[in-house]
Amino acid sequence: MTHKKHLTMFLVDHLWIILLFVVAPVGFMLLYLLLSDAPTQDALYYIFLSLVILFSFLAYRLYSTWNLYELFCSDKKDINEFIISEPKSNDEKRYKKLISKIRQIYLNDMRQLEEERKSHRLMIYRWVHQLKTPLSVIHLIAENQKTDEDYNKILHLARKIQYDLNQVLDLYKLEAIENNFHAERVNLYDMSKDCINELKSIFIEREVYPKLDIDKELFVYTDYKWIKFVLYQLLTNAVKYSDNGKSVVVFATKTDGLISLCVKDRGCGIEKSDLSRIFNLYFTGNNGRHREESSGLGLYMVKQILDYLGHSISVESTPSIGSVFTVNFNVVE
């Protein structure tokens, strides 16, 4: 099929040469035979010789440009794959030289872009860390005066800013997740308990009650730090979108070949039209826009991390009733 495509493209490109040979030497000779009494054998020999020359020329052109037509018909995606290692003709040599120049320009642009990206990332790191110091002071002052309603509002906003700043840093860390990955045997109960304890102040502030229902002997193989980050994001969202007095349940199930870690809330739920897009970068949905608490980063990072770790995530949600986020692990004996 590929060779047929090559030949079709080659013949289309050389159609003018074929027609020229047919119309000129062959066509004129046939016309000459019709209008004169010249020997037919000599004329046919001339026509045959012309066709041999034509076919020889086309065969040489096909051989000398075969690599080019192979590239024209390919679906290669790496620029290095478009370089002809052993050109057979001047056309292929000129093509190789041109592609090499384009490749060099591309590599120079990529290096420049990478340098700019590193500078931008460094600027963001410095900016975030510079903000953390005064933010910690504000947080400490508000914490000491939290009996005052105004200071309590400041404390709430300081925590929100701190959370958003941490998300920005975590988003940049995802770029180098392969350099900060360690697979190990993780106890789901202990990991979930640690995560809930770290969010204790948020649970208390929102008056949302966590419940943990996981077998203490249930283990999975994954990266402890990153899977804890995933659960932290899911719990934060569950609390954020739950009303006062509601509960958030963390539980796990085990079936043949699969362990599922679930976070269930009784919050506002997710609109059906939003479900397919909640893991997209910067997507906030109707709930995020109404509550003005969503950055569109958390679930995006969750999905990216789980894809890298080889785990899957699914969600079931009913508006005004709640949502269940499920992370699935393959059982490794």
* Helix, strand or coil, per DSSP, at residue 256: coil
Q: What is the pLDDT of residues 35-92, one digit of tens each?
A: 766 666 766 777 778 788 888 888 888 888 888 777 777 777 777 777 777 887 787 7
pLDDT score, position 17:
82
Q: What is the predicted pLDDT for the residue at 224?
A: 92
**Phi, psi of 183, deg, nearest 5:** -80, 135
Cα angle 279, 272, 302; round to 5: 15
Whether 292 shows a pLDDT value over 60: the answer reads no
Amino acid symbol at 92: E
Confidence at 288, pLDDT banded by 50, 70, 90:
low
> Has residue 1 got a pLDDT over 60?
no
Q: Where is 260: in which H helix or E strand?
A: strand 258-265
User: CA-based angle 301:306:310, to the nearest 5?
Assistant: 155
Average pLDDT, the chain: 83
Nearest by Cα to 84 from 73, 63, 100:
100
183-329: CATH topology: Heat Shock Protein 90 (3.30.565)
pLDDT confidence bin for 144, thresholds 50/70/90:
confident
Highest mean pLDDT among 104-108, 147-151, 163-167, 296-300: 104-108
Q: How confident is the model at residue 231 (pLDDT cuts 50, 70, 90)?
A: very high
The confidence score (pLDDT) of residue 329 equals 94
pLDDT of residue 333: 61
Q: How far is CA 332 from CA 92, 123, 218, 239, in A?
A: 53, 42, 12, 32
Would you state the pLDDT for residue 106? 87
pLDDT at 38: 62
pLDDT digits 0-9 by tens, 170-216: 777 777 777 778 889 999 999 999 999 988 888 888 889 999 999 99
Instruction: Give the HSE-up count for residue 330: Cα atoms under 13 Å, Cβ half-sphere.
Output: 5
Count CB-CB contacts under 10 A for residue 269. 18
Greater pLDDT, 31 or 192: 192
Q: What angle do CA 208, 237, 200 make, to 5 degrees?
A: 45
Among the residue ranges 89-93, 109-113, 302-306, the one predicted with the least confidence is 89-93
CB-based contact 212:189 (threshold 8 Å): yes
Please tell me the predicted confidence (pLDDT) of residue 314.
93
Distances (CA, A) of 137 to 132, 153, 161, 239: 9, 15, 13, 26
- Distance between CA 157 and CA 147 in Å, rounded? 15
The answer to whether the beta carbons of residues 278 and 326 sit under 8 Å apart is no
The burial class, CB within 10 Å (0-12 / 13-18 / 19+), for 270 is buried
Tokens 């209008």 locate to 35
